[in-house]
Amino acid sequence: MTLTLTLVRHGQTVLNARRHLQGACDSPLTRTGRAGVRVTAQHLSRHEFDAAYSSPQGRAVLTAIEILRHHPDLRLSVDEDLRELSFGTFERRPERELDAVVPWSTLVPAVLAGTHPGIGGGEPGAAFMARVRAVLGRIVAAHDDAAGPGADRDEHVLVVGHGLTLGAMLATIQPTGLVALPNASVSTVEVSGGVARVVTAGVDVAGHGSVAARPAPSVVPLSA
C-alpha cells in the first residue's frame, strides 16, 4: 500500500506581504493569507487524513488549525524540526538587504548542500538539512509500516510547514533544487515499497502566485 504526504506551506503573513525575511521570527497571517488558507482547507476537506503535523511557529499552526476544522477528529502533532531556517541578523529585514550580500540563487544551493555556514549568524545549512531529513524520516517511519506490504489500506498524512523547510524535503526526495512554494500551496509525496517520489510540488491552490523568501520563476538548481 501507499503512504501519501500532503505538504502545505503556511498562509501569507505580514512579513511575506512586505517582502521581509521571516525564518525563526513570526508575524500574523494577513487577511489575504487567512482567505487563502480557507481556500486550501476547503480543497483538502475531501481528503481523509490519518495524522497531522505542523511546525511550532504560529503561522504554520494557524494554517494547520484551519485545515483541521474539516477534520475535527484529528489531533495536531507539533514537531520542532519542521520550523523554518533562521536568517540570523537578517530576520525581519527587507529581502533586498540579503540580496546585496548573497544572491538567493547562490544561497539556496549552499543551504541544500549543507555547506553554508549560516546567514548572519543564523542556522548552518548542515544543521538545517540534518533536521529536515530527520523529521521526514520520523514521519515516514511512524506511518509507512501501516501502509507497507501486507497492510489493508493506504495512509495519508498532513504536514504543514514553511517554504524552505518543505522545499528542502522535496529536494531531499527528488534532488532538483528548491521548487517555488507559494503561500498555502500543496505538494504531494508518495512512499511505496520504501521508495519516495514527488507527485506534485507547489500547487497554488489559493492563487497567491508568490513566494515569501524570494520569487523564483523556476527551480533553483542544487549547483550552478
Please check if 10 is assigned to a binding site.
yes
Please check if 153 is assigned to a binding site.
no
Please check if 186 is assigned to a binding site.
no
Please check if 9 is assigned to a binding site.
yes
Please check if 174 is assigned to a binding site.
no
Please check if 69 is assigned to a binding site.
no
CA distance 200 to 174: 11
Dig out the grid coordinates for 138 from the structure: 520520523
Please check if 20 is assigned to a binding site.
no
- Binding-site positions for substrate read 9-16, 59
- Binding-site positions read 9-16, 59
